[in-house]
Amino acid sequence: MKFHRLWLIPLVCLPLLCVGCSGGGRIFGERTLRVMTYNIHHAEGTDQAIDIKRIAEVIKEADTDIVALQEVDRLTARSANTDMITKLADLTGMTYAFGKTIDFQGGEYGNGVLTRFPILQERNIHYQLPSSEPRAVMQLVLDVNGTEIVLMNTHLDPTTHDSVRVAHVNEIVAAALEYRPRPVVLCGDFNDTTGSECLNAIAKGFEDCWNAVHATGGATYPSNSPQKRIDYVFVSNQQPGTSTGNSQANLRPVSARVLQSTASDHLPLVVDLHVVSD
């Protein structure tokens, strides 16, 4: 994973078209962090055209601070040898990190992160239990205006059996504990729905931001006729027994919305988090 230059650009609040919403936009005057998770399907839209600029426009219009991306190509044949993560960094004015999961068509394929904040640490860990395709979880420590916040980004296996996803989630929960007392934001395409064993396993260490703000709907897939909520943003919970008691900050979800776009086969999910210092 490599670093990219960090550009500081003014925050502009733009209108968003939502297919599921709760709460308002960014709360100016408070410490609010805007996070997006987006499976970009190697920038292939519903029209089967690969267009990285459309993905960048979705990100810019949402005015996000951190973007967790899945299904990112780097220098693959099918994507005309485009380095998608660096291209997106250039187009959005953000810095980047990339976590390869597999070699693919002469290049690489995996997950990526765009952010306005300095990256202090970064890791890309492949899951121990084999799956139909190698999977990994990115782990970044970000300096968010003097507060260290951990960002995890993953794309779980779509296998029909829950056991593989549950095993991978258990690895995520264990890894998150190692970062205490720093708060953790977990993003990604989990290829599973609410009430599944996988989502129940995540609840051992995380809170679902969509549910936290009492939002309804939330389906993100497929983008042309959303039926399933499989893309999520979670925050590490602060329930009794899960906190060391000396955390420097907590993250409180204040709004969540799914944006309409044809740039990918998934819809992007945007969550606003209030950073509450102890």
Instruction: Per-residue pLDDT tens, the chain, 278 aa: give them.
Output: 443 433 333 333 333 344 444 444 444 445 899 999 999 999 999 999 999 999 999 999 999 999 999 999 999 999 999 999 999 999 999 999 999 999 999 999 999 999 999 999 999 999 999 899 999 999 999 999 999 999 999 999 998 788 999 999 999 999 999 999 999 999 999 999 999 999 999 999 999 999 999 889 999 999 999 999 999 999 998 644 444 444 468 999 999 999 999 999 999 999 999 998 76
| The CATH homologous superfamily of the domain defined by 18-277 | Endonuclease/exonuclease/phosphatase (3.60.10.10)
Q: CA–CA separation, 188 vs 114, rounded Å? A: 14
Q: CA–CA separation, 64 vs 98, rounded Å? A: 18
Nearest Cα to Cα of residue 249 among 189, 160, 182 = 182
CB atoms within 10 A of CB 148: 16
Is 212:185 a contact under the CB 8 Å cutoff?
no
Q: CA–CA separation, 51 vs 71, rounded Å? A: 14
Q: CA–CA separation, 111 vs 213, rounded Å? A: 27
pLDDT at 31: 84
Q: CA–CA separation, 117 vs 119, rounded Å? A: 6
pLDDT at 276: 87
Greatest distance between any 2 Cα atoms in the chain:
51
Is 47:263 a contact under the CB 8 Å cutoff?
no
Q: CA–CA separation, 125 vs 137, rounded Å? A: 5
Amino acid occupying residue 36: M
Give the Å distances, CA to CA, from 82 to 44, 57, 58, 96, 108: 13, 17, 19, 15, 11
pLDDT at 278: 63
pLDDT at 160: 72
Spatial neighbors of 3 by CB under 8 A, at least 6 apart, are 95, 96, 97, 119
